[in-house]
Chain A
Amino acid sequence: MSTYIARRLLLLFPVLIGVSFLVFLIFHLTPGDPVRSMLGEAGQGISAEEIEQIRRQFGLDRPWYVQYFSFLLGALRGDFGSSFQTGRPVFTEVASRFPFTMRLAGVSLLIAALVGVPAGVAAALRPRRWLDLGVMGIVLVGVSMPVFWLGILLMQTFSLNLRWLPPAGSGTWRHMVLPSVTIAFASVAFIARMTRSSLIEHLGEDYVRTARSKGLRESIVVYRHALRGAMIPVLTTIGLQFGHLLGGAVVVETIFGLPGLGRLTVDAIQARDLPMIQGSVLWIAVVFNVVNLVVDVLYVAIDPRIRYR
């Protein structure tokens, strides 16, 4: 087990190096001069010499690999540079917005799992009957529904028309309901679909027939035996959904006016604030990889078959 974790950690290294290089490139693939986009409007009347001086001041005249290493060293120390817009350190800004997005994604993941798994089980127990067809219909709608449309419809219905929940802002749990339901919807669909197909498959397996022929009660056969085996691919799906949920958070934060990392990133892109874009994307990528690592380790802990590979 600990060897597995160590190996997994070791494999994470090259990936994170690659990630940091890609994020570094954001600054250098940008069309036009980053110094000019940093200066924005103020850069109109500035001479070429002055631009050159600013370039030196930020170390942009050095070879790219020197720049990359200083970027990497900075990032490791938590220094992502300063925002072009506010001049404040990117790290502080990103770190202050991140917990909100993480909480939003976490609550959504919980909702998605708590709704998706039972829905999938219910569908699998009576395949091709009305309940199954209903669940599968909702699943199909769920994977085709644009997140932002769902958010707008929910806001329209529950905030603006019925006035049950606040349409925007943050602070109380009531503010979290609509955003997290919006984000969770598509994941409910994916999780329900995976649970259904996995459980149907497992219900047809030999060990389930053995359990039945021993005369065990049907509920024990389903919940203790079949479901346990069936949950493994479902867990993978739940883990994979985390990335989708973070993506959903970007859109939902915009709709409901929430102060998260997604909104910060979108604003930074519109303002061409390159260090801020780099900082938030890098941060999210690191978190994403750590979460995937945790899911992988959990997976091994649950499924004894792959423990010693």
Chain B
Amino acid sequence: MWRRFSRHRGAVAGVVGVALLVILSLGAARISAYDPAVQDWTRRLESPGPDHPLGTDEFGRDVLTRILYGGRISLLAGIAPVVIGSITGIAIGLVAGFLGGRWDLFLMRAMDVLLAFPALFLALAIVGSLGPGLLNVMLAVALVSIPGYARVTRGQVLSVREREFVSAAVVSGAGVGRLMWHHVLPNVMTPLVVQSTLNIGYAILATASLSFLGLGTQPPTADWGTMLANARQYLPEAWWLAVFPGAMIMVSVLAVNLIGEGLRDALGR
């Protein structure tokens, strides 16, 4: 499987992209001499030049530095909702598919209700209830992804449940918990790995969208979505404020999606 993955040119490019993103954002303090929050009113809205390779913003802050630090938020926004959403969704799908009956009916109808909203509106509803902020936005994005995981897991579980090795484990006296955890779960993970990878891209986009709308990361924290929201007031002159953060979002999501597609091809799905 790894051989096939490493021969997938797009996937390799994706891995390089993600690695760069991780190194650049975690090493932000070493790479840039500036502080992302310190304002310099004498150097407002400077276009890219030797001192500030990507220019400065409306408060004279270095755009490159803010992009590097903003990468940390995007990393978090890509990982946290996927971890929360996948664990919850997989658990729901596992229980629904394996126990069946009333559990299945109740849990899957609940998933149908979540799917009855357009994704972004469900996220808006949750942020609307809990209030704006990065944490609430990430929770909302996680919740939106739960039904997808639950459905895929349930479908997989239904087919694996009938296989011989499960009956063998039942006969040898394994309990329900052991059956689900040791025998069923490991055999349903493959499509879920692909789905989680592709969901990282979605989570980055959705979180950035909500931050762009002013509902996520609050100023002065550096975040690509909020940087773009602020940039709108200074167009068309200060184009660098809009171009670079947006390009970073796109490249990050593209890199993650390339990995996801490479995994899908390598795993034969």
Contact = CB atoms under 8 A, between A and B. Distances in A.
Contact of A246 (B118, B128, B129): B118
Interface in B210-269: 212-215, 225, 228-229, 231-232, 235-236, 239, 242-243, 246-247, 249-250, 253-254, 257-258
A140 B110 CA distance: 33
A242 B121 CA distance: 12
Nearest to A37: B131
A222 interface: no
Interface residues of B, number: 46
Contacts of B254: 140-141, 144
A148 interface: yes
Contacts of B208: 146, 148
Given A246-B120, A272-B131, A284-B118, A144 B253 contact: yes
B213 to A, nearest CB: 5
A9 interface: no
A270 B132 CA distance: 7
A141 B258 CA distance: 11
Nearest to A147: B209
B109 A18 contact: yes
B22 interface: no
A192 to B, nearest CB: 15
A270 B124 CA distance: 11
Nearest to A291: B118
Contacts of B110: 18
A29 B143 CA distance: 15
Contacts, number: 152
A156 B116 contact: no
Interface residues of A, number: 52
A156 B127 CA distance: 30
A26 interface: yes
Contact of A266 (B129, B213, B231, B258): B213
- Summarize A's interface: helix, strand, loop or mixed: helix
A247 B120 contact: yes
Interface string A19-36: 101110111011100000
Contact of A161 (B118, B124, B236): B236
Contacts of A247: 118-121
B205 interface: yes
A269 B129 CA distance: 8
B130 interface: yes
B40 interface: no
B169 interface: no
B127 to A, nearest CB: 6
Interface stretch (A43-51, A73-81, A250-258): A250-258
Interface string B72-110: 000000000000000000000000000000000000011
A30 B116 contact: no
A268 interface: yes
A16 B124 contact: no
Nearest to A272: B131
B115 to A, nearest CB: 9
A151 B76 CA distance: 25
Contact of A144 (B201, B229, B235): B201
Contact of B209 (A16, A26, A148, A152): A148
State the 6 A-B residue pairs at the shortest beta-carbon distance, nearest first: A247-B120, A149-B246, A18-B113, A243-B118, A160-B236, A277-B128
5 contacts: A19-B113, A141-B250, A152-B231, A255-B232, A289-B116
Interface of A: 14-16, 18-19, 21-23, 25-27, 29-31, 140-141, 143-149, 152-153, 155-156, 160-161, 242-244, 246-248, 250-251, 254-255, 265-266, 268-270, 272, 274, 277, 281, 284-285, 288-289
